[in-house]
A and B are shown apart, each in its own frame.
Chain A
């Protein structure tokens, strides 16, 4: 059968389609974005009427998916790892409500922080919620898990976490597709109060979830995704989770001399791990993320069999694994190429030439020359690159939406005026509630919304804020006299500077919206227009 060349993300999307999904729900975030983008481009998705519009943030995505599951249809939520924090309230409670139609939560982790603020490991969320976790080792498994995950979810009446990392998400390989399942029909929960988490019901549901744990554990023990692969050399037994299995096999051309437990479904398969412990003198745990399995195997007193991994220094404590790191842990000598010559300089990412954020910072930096430095709270998006030279314009980037509320807190402390810089998509993601807070307090802050009509950093997805920002601000109660707009172009520099200066001087809340389309989306739509001509 002809294999299709799929990114891990694309394999997941196609797997979900073939598994009978009725709704994809997501907010963009590297490395999960391409799942939704694949669905949006798929003719099959359009023909089958599968929902594939972007959500405003991860929490709304998660809740919409729970809503679809409630009706008896199958749904998938996709997000980057930090999105799990935003969705956590809904996610953890969805384990208590249980599901009706199958529900898969794809959490795309980013060890080494290629495009993220941290490298948190979403397996902890799965464990926290007491639900099964699937962690594919390759694109084919990613396809199968997305397809079969719905049934696992329905069988155990819980959402299922599908945990991937950047490397799998953004790597292509051949995938063979299987049969296709039909979408399910609407069939509401048998118990009309299943999703009503009043304490009395929640307690009952939670007990059910706890009782289900034995079956969930048994499913891991029996899972075809987990394997015990024997080897002759019992000095070390290797536990290889997810994609790390490949790095191990790469070093031995597929024939590892040590016994190996391949883990791709959690809870950890007790049967295989027990056997490994009995057979081997020591255990090496390979996992692309936090020492999640390693900690469980060690336990508090750590008095059992010798365990090697990220905690004892056999592997680095942080960052992504790769074949060389795994080789080193196994004492395999690899001759590397020559060192990087000194002439090679770092080339950090930077704002595109002609980007409107540049003009915003050029004006803001000058306007702030009259004040002590250190008062600009920014947010997450392309404009975060304003932290780097030549701008050196911002003092914070913590989590989406934090700019406005951090400015409020700093102003409360007396740092006046404080400035918040936030993008349009980030503003609708989680800046609006913060702005309401600033309105209510009339905080002496300037909120600068750098509106480029798109979600630039993640590749230009439609922004929920498009053409709505000013109205939203008005609706939230921003004083129209201090709600100003400008066009961030060099030719408007003087008037923009004047506007920002005036609003900085105002002793209450002001909002300045800088409006100019992202250069990349301009180029893309021009190209498209050219083609249609």
Chain B
């Protein structure tokens, strides 16, 4: 088992929560893991990414080779496209469709959606609306993670385990909320790839 995942978003959007859930699920399964993060300057509203690598064999590089990523998981649509040179030909792009507009020349939404639509394998979902419907916008990240679940090589229960290890200390309510969000994203993706 080996998965190379690029997580993308804007500084402050919290892509590291997604990384941490996948990470603790991987650790629970005794897999090897490397995760390169962006700290520092770009966290001030710039583009940020994290290279997350999981394998049952030792991993060398902290960085994913261009053309080798199994998937891109993004919490922002324009950011999802920034890392396409890394994506394998048959890799998946999973992204939230709600733009984060903090630059004056942000392109038209339609142009971005068209670029995403051109890709052979993609799941694009309005994670914020789905999270809102569940009663907590803040869990939209986990909705996106849910939508990536069919491609991650983890059973959904294993990711639930990751959520429990990560949020367990902060109370059952938060754990439940995030598990619901995970399932909502998962259902959406399953429907899409049917």
Q: Which A residues are within 8 Å of any B CB, using their own CB?
A: 3, 5, 7, 30-31, 33-34, 114-115, 167-168, 170-174, 243, 245-247, 249-251, 254, 322-324, 327, 334-341, 343-352, 382, 385, 389, 457-459
Contact = CB atoms under 8 A, between A and B. Distances in A.
Nearest to B91: A337
Interface stretch (B31-39, B126-134, B138-146): B31-39
Nearest to B111: A343
Contacts of A34: 39
B73 to A, nearest CB: 15
Nearest to B47: A347
A5 B27 contact: yes
Interface string B56-87: 00111111111111000000001101101111
Interface stretch (B100-108, B154-162, B185-193): B100-108
Contact of B33 (A172, A344, A350): A172
B174 interface: no
Nearest to B67: A336
Contact of A250 (B38, B47, B60, B87): B60
12 contacts: A5-B23, A114-B38, A173-B33, A173-B59, A254-B58, A336-B67, A337-B67, A337-B88, A340-B85, A343-B81, A343-B107, A349-B11
Given A30-B39, A167-B36, A246-B60, A349 B46 contact: yes
Given A337-B84, A345-B105, 9 more contacts: A30-B39, A33-B39, A170-B37, A170-B39, A171-B35, A334-B65, A338-B87, A341-B84, A457-B44
A114 B60 contact: no
B66 A337 contact: yes
B62 A246 contact: yes
A334 B59 CA distance: 19
Contacts of B86: 336-337
B10 interface: yes
Contact of A337 (B32, B60, B69, B111): B69
Decide if the interface of chain A is mainly helix, strand, loop or mixed: loop
Contacts of A352: 44-45
B179 to A, nearest CB: 22
Interface residues of B, number: 53
A249 B41 contact: no
A457 B40 CA distance: 7
A115 B67 CA distance: 26
A345 B42 contact: no
A114 B40 contact: yes
Nearest to B24: A5
Contacts of A172: 23, 33-37
A81 to B, nearest CB: 13
B36 A171 contact: yes
B82 A349 contact: no
A344 B85 CA distance: 13
Contacts of B37: 7, 170-172
B84 A457 contact: no
A173 B61 contact: no
Contact of B60 (A249, A335, A341): A249
User: Can you list the 3 inter-chain pairs with the closest CB atoms, starting with the nearest?
Assistant: A115-B40, A30-B40, A349-B46
Contacts of B111: 343
Contacts of B66: 323-324, 334, 336-337
B9 to A, nearest CB: 10
A265 to B, nearest CB: 20
Interface string B160-187: 0000000000000000000000000000
Contact of B63 (A30, A115, A254, A323): A323
A345 B107 contact: yes
Contacts of A335: 67, 89
Contacts of A385: 44
A344 to B, nearest CB: 5
Contacts of B112: 343
A459 B11 CA distance: 12
Contacts of A246: 60-62
Contacts of B107: 343-345
Nearest to B51: A171
Contact of B103 (A3, A339, A341, A345): A345
Contacts of A250: 60-61, 65
A30 B43 CA distance: 12
Contacts of B89: 335, 337
Interface string B105-139: 11100011001000000000000000000000000
Contacts of B33: 5, 172-174
